[in-house]
Chain A
Amino acid sequence: MLSKRGIMKSLCGIAAVGLFGMATLASAQAQNAPGILQSILQRGTIRIAVLGSLPPYSRVMPNGEPEGYDIDIAKRLAEALKVKPEFIISDIPARVTALQTRKADVTIADFTRNVERSTSIAFTNPYLVTTMRLLLPANSPYKTIAEANEAGIRVAISRGGTAERAVPANMPKAQIIRFNTQADELNAVLTGQADAMAEDNFYNGNAIKENPGKLREAEGDLARAEIAIGLPAGDADWLRVLNLFVDQFNASGDNKKLFQKWFGFEQPPIQAKY
């Protein structure tokens, strides 16, 4: 028989985790900081969360400095505010939690905005619009997304990304295989562990170029995604400044130039047609 003490010990452990959660909550709520804009101007630096490895959006160079399209946008933002950029290299969870714990003032990290996500952080207007498409091995027999769906293929996707809804909606017969990084998805396709992957067409274009003769895209689109700058929820003043920055960055043609520099082709239109 199990002893009462053993069971009590288990219950105490479970209670401790609950308390830890509450403590995190309490410390987050105890913060009563001034507005983010004031903090940045007083500090003279803006803290920007970026991804460590998502070229050409961002990557960390051997000397430890980040570079890429998102990094150049961050530098423009710092320049416009007349402060110094301070980069916080993050992964997929950290680019979000850095905002929620106020360790970062903004996140510029290929963020796809939607209403569900905007209940926990805020997003600016988009600076990029991507189209999700199906990336296949070059020798795959399927020409279109519809054909691939009929065959019930295995599609590699990013956990919790745009593909979570887009793939079942467009390919109800496909079997979904989830990975943490795009590199793992691509490995799965190249080694035959998946029949295809669903990623944005900019990523796909790069992958096709880097694996000559091995990959191609299927005809048809899976989803449209709006890429935006993320910021902590609840600071309307900071959102006002960032939206003005994004709007002028788009309208001035600076965005087009940076995009051309990092992706090597012309930026598709940001405005939706409806």
Chain B
Amino acid sequence: MPYYFSFRSIYPYLGDLAAAAQATLLLSVLAIVLSVAIGSGVALMRRSDSRLLRFTGGLYVEVMRNTPLLVILYIVYFALPQLGLRMSPFNSALIGLTLNSAGYMAEIIRAGLVAVPPGQFEAAASQGFTRVQLYRHIVLPQVFRTIYAPLGNQFIAVILASSLASAVAVEEVASWMQTVGSSSFRFFETFVIAAVVYLVLCQIVNLGRIAIGRWLFRQPEAYR
């Protein structure tokens, strides 16, 4: 008795899929942007002269990289309300995903900071650059050029990790897959469709990242 694939059985549910894909994309892109910002801050903390800041930054990275995202999502969604901090499923998932991803982003960005030769810091100081000017004009442009490709890996990791948000009631693509699979008992069909949707979403973000990178790191006119 073979199993007959029937994608026709899934047609009635495809309307919900568009909304679910939008939710996955929105959640992932917001988490990516926020976690790059927080990760940059943590990476700078880890390079700070203050021992306390270095320690706090290191602690954050190790806690976030060594705890499962699912546990963090449960804590944000189920435990924080006990302390009076109540958030919607989407916001809970966004916070959990951002906190988790920022741990990885911080390490990627720190690697980029380490790659800037120490001589440049000394040279900038000798030229009278302030700390802000140093980072704005000399360090960060090099950092982002160095880490732009590895950052792409983490972007994709965030999109795929967003599938856990269904555990805290977010209606994203993994939620759609579970809901339609359980309704129709056609899990194989929903697995295949969800895989294709994630692949397309990851490629959209990836191609977007490449396009932005080309624009961001274009050669200055003088060198063309």
Contact = CB atoms under 8 A, between A and B. Distances in A.
A120 B183 contact: no
Interface string A10-39: 100110011011001100111101000000
Nearest to B12: A116
A31 to B, nearest CB: 6
A24 B207 CA distance: 29
Contacts of B211: 1-2
A21 B192 contact: yes
Given A100-B3, A191-B81, A191-B82, A17 B179 contact: no
Nearest to B170: A178
Contact of B182 (A1, A30, A161, A232): A161
A96 B180 CA distance: 13
A164 B2 contact: no
> Which of B1, B4, B196, B199 has the most chain A CB atoms closer than 10 A to its own CB?
B1
A160 B169 contact: no
Contacts of A44: none
A179 B210 CA distance: 36
Nearest to A29: B2
B187 A93 contact: yes
Contacts of B1: 31, 33, 102, 232-235
Contacts of B182: 92-93, 158-161
B184 interface: yes
Contacts of B86: 192-193
A120 B184 contact: yes
A31 B166 contact: no
Contact of A28 (B2, B81, B186, B214): B2
Interface in A188-231: 188, 191-193
A28 B81 CA distance: 47
A11 to B, nearest CB: 9
Interface residues of B, number: 40
Given A14-B200, A159-B175, A1 B187 contact: no
B188 A193 contact: no
Given A14-B199, A17-B195, A117 B3 contact: no
Contact of B78 (A17, A191, A232): A191
A121 interface: yes
A225 B176 CA distance: 23
B167 interface: yes
A160 B180 contact: yes
A93 B183 contact: no
B85 to A, nearest CB: 11
Contacts of A100: 3, 187-188
A193 B77 contact: yes
A248 interface: no
B178 interface: yes
A192 B78 CA distance: 9
B207 A28 contact: no
Nearest to B207: A2
Given A24-B192, A180-B178, 10 more contacts: A13-B203, A28-B3, A93-B187, A116-B183, A117-B184, A119-B9, A119-B184, A159-B179, A160-B184, A188-B78
